[in-house]
Structure 1
Amino acid sequence: MYRIGQLAKEAQVSIRTLRYYDELGLLKPSIVTESGYRYYSAEDTVTLYIILALKQLGFSLLQIREMLTEHPKEERWKTSLHYQLQAVKEEKQRLQQLEDALQVALNAIEIKEKLQAEDLRLFLEAAQAGTQQRQQFRARHFTPTEQAILANLPELHTDDPKTQTWTRLLREVREHMHEPPDSPASQRLAEEIVAYADELFQGNEELTGKYWELIRPQPGQPARLYGLDAETMTYIDAIVDWYIAQTEHNENATNTERNETENC
């Protein structure tokens, strides 16, 4: 048995708090002597910790009293654990959303070298609308095999290597958009983008083109994917088209030269 002072010290609450809980009918001592000394049993101690746990989760003392009244003693701790587990899950979800928002902000800065509130707001709204709508969009336009490939595309709320590569490429695209498509910097970027797309889309050129056209914004419309506004996509199209044309030209020239050598 615990005297009121001992229980207060162990639970790190005041004696006044324990007396208040007694007045409310939340936690009554098992024994009150004729001289007024209060003694609490081990079971009372468990009840106190349940009260403190539920109070920490935001429940009022009146709500806690109702819970303790409604549930038999053997169920009280189980009920408390249930509420605590639910609270942890909700906090975990909140922290995950916060982590996603912070990661988006970092990636937005990486892409544009500055954080624009409007861009971030639009992206977060899209992310919250998010997974279900994205899955519905992909289900309407892509086969199950194609959807499996698209599931591996980079997401700006993550920090995996694919996303890091994509944010770097977008930043460099923005840095060189003023240059002509055939400039050395533009062609270096085009080579990287082609290789990156080939890896992401597993060499499926048809799917690459199909996806690219579906995410292209209409004239005057905002980007459907962060960083891929109409101007940016036009520049990427131009440098990639030039790169592919030059690659094919060089391959044809090499084949012609090889054939001429073999015929000599």
Structure 2
Amino acid sequence: MFTIGQLSKRTHISIRTLRYYDELGLLKPAKVAESGYRYYSNEELRLLQHITALKELGFTLASIKELLLTTGKGAQESRWKSFLDFELAAIAEERTRLDEMEKLLQTARHALEMKGEIEAEDIFLFIRALQTPPNVRESFFARHFTEREIRILKNLPDLSSEDPRAMKWAKLIRAAMEHLHEPPSSDVSQDLARQFVEISMDWFEQDEQLIEKYWTMIRPEANEETKVYGLDADVMGYIDRIVDAYLQQDQEGTPHGEADRTAHS
């Protein structure tokens, strides 16, 4: 027989917890002496180990008590299945919640890198975007793009993912925002243009027609909300100007930045 103190030391469960289990009727001592001392046998030790194992599986004390008090093999098996299915469903729901929270936090992290701040309306925008049913996006793609184009577009960096390209894109957009008023042919503008051209050709698999098609489709009309986060009319206009200048200098064979230096000499 074990005293409550001995049982506590043997199982690493506090005396307070053991007394609480007694109050709940979950773990009664084998004997209570006239002095009030509780004594436990190997049977209570085995039961306590069972309770501890069930807690590790995520069962509540109430469900453990109900399970342990169930008699009859068939009834106990049914009760086990019920509790296990419930816990598995709860875990699946929690995993979904955590996955969605991770995506939201990843999006916010990239947005912060992109703009240097996050507005409350941005957070709600991200939430709405993440809650958009997949079939809405699939339907849009099917109406406007070929199967090959859809495959390419689906592989573009997603701000809600850990894809390192997403952070690269966020940093590049921030640089564009910070240099909106730079002359298109300046060194800094031309360096940005080079980066935009290189990653666009890489991410769109050298398909210039798809780049133009997609870029035109995501361009916001006058007084229209931004369609792609970070790409408002001003930013897209600046990117258009610097890329046009970059490509024109390529065609003319003029070193990038040389035209601007000549114009100011």
TM-score of the superposed pair, with normalisation by structure 1: 0.74
Residues 112, 171 of structure 1: 8 Å contact kept:
yes
CA separation of 1:221/1:67 partners in 2, compared to 1, >3 Å: closer, same or farther?
farther
Moved more, 143-152 or 13-22: 13-22
The answer for the alignment partner of 1:6 in structure 2 is 6
The answer for the alignment partner of 1:177 in structure 2 is 180
Deviations 1:85-141 (A, max 9, x none): 555555544444444333323322221123333223312331333655434432333
Residues 186, 239 of structure 1: 8 Å contact kept:
yes
Distance 1:139 1:37 in 2: 72
Q: How does 1:1-264 map to 2 (within 5 A)?
A: 3-28=3-28, 31-32=30-31, 37-41=39-43, 43-50=46-53, 52-53=55-56, 57=58, 59=60, 61-69=61-69, 89-129=92-132, 131=134, 133-250=136-253
Distance 2:22 2:168 in 1: 62
Distance 1:243 1:188 in 2: 9
Residues 110, 170 of structure 2: 8 Å contact kept:
yes
Deviations 1:8-32 (A, max 9, x none): 3344434454344345343345x44
Moved more, 97-106 or 78-87: 78-87
Deviations 1:20-63 (A, max 9, x none): 4345343345x447876332425413332145336xx484x434
Once the 2 structures are TM-superposed, how far is the Cα of residue 203 of structure 1 from its aligned partner? 0.9
Distance 1:234 1:248 in 2: 21
Identity of aligned residues (%): 43
Residues 27, 48 of structure 2: 8 Å contact kept:
no
Once the 2 structures are TM-superposed, how far is the Cα of residue 200 of structure 1 from its aligned partner? 0.4
SS of alignment partner, residue 37 of structure 1: strand
The answer for the alignment partner of 1:254 in structure 2 is none
Q: Which runs of 5+ in 2 are unaligned?
A: 255-265
RMSD (Å), alpha carbons: 3.5
SS of alignment partner, residue 27 of structure 2: coil
Tell me the number of residue pairs that the alignment of Structure 1 and Structure 2 aligns: 247
Distance 1:217 1:40 in 2: 74
Residues 50, 77 of structure 1: 8 Å contact kept:
no
Distance 2:56 2:100 in 1: 25
Once the 2 structures are TM-superposed, how far is the Cα of residue 78 of structure 1 from its aligned partner? 7.8
TM-score of the superposed pair, with normalisation by structure 2: 0.74
SS of alignment partner, residue 232 of structure 1: helix
Matched AA of 2:190: Q
Distance 1:85 1:39 in 2: 34
Once the 2 structures are TM-superposed, how far is the Cα of residue 3 of structure 1 from its aligned partner? 5.0
Residues 7, 40 of structure 2: 8 Å contact kept:
no
SS of alignment partner, residue 41 of structure 2: strand
Once the 2 structures are TM-superposed, how far is the Cα of residue 189 of structure 1 from its aligned partner? 1.7
CA separation of 1:4/1:74 partners in 2, compared to 1, >3 Å: closer, same or farther?
farther
The answer for the alignment partner of 1:262 in structure 2 is none
Moved more, 73-82 or 44-53: 73-82
Once the 2 structures are TM-superposed, how far is the Cα of residue 233 of structure 1 from its aligned partner? 1.4
Once the 2 structures are TM-superposed, how far is the Cα of residue 196 of structure 1 from its aligned partner? 1.0
